[in-house]
Amino acid sequence: MPDYSDYVSIYDKEGNEYACPLGSLKGQVISTEKLTEKEKEKCLNTGEIVGTERI
């Protein structure tokens, strides 16, 4: 089972947080604009999970 430390938080321009598995990222990524489509498929919008998505 994945551990919380196996994920990295990445933010979009609006400040929404995405949890992405470290193993799926190709390099040092600090914003969602830098993710490839394949990497985006593996990430989860944490606002959708816990209901705290910014408006």
DSSP string, 1-55: ---GGGEEEEE-TT--EEEEEGGG--S---BGGG--HHHHHH-EEHHHHHT----
Record the pTM. Answer: 0.67
- CA–CA gap between residue 6 and residue 8 (Å, rounded): 7
- Provide the pLDDT for residue 1: 53
Burial (CB < 10 A; 0-12, 13-18, 19+), residue 51, is exposed
pLDDT in tens, the chain (55 residues): 556 678 888 888 888 888 888 877 776 666 677 787 788 888 888 888 765 555 5
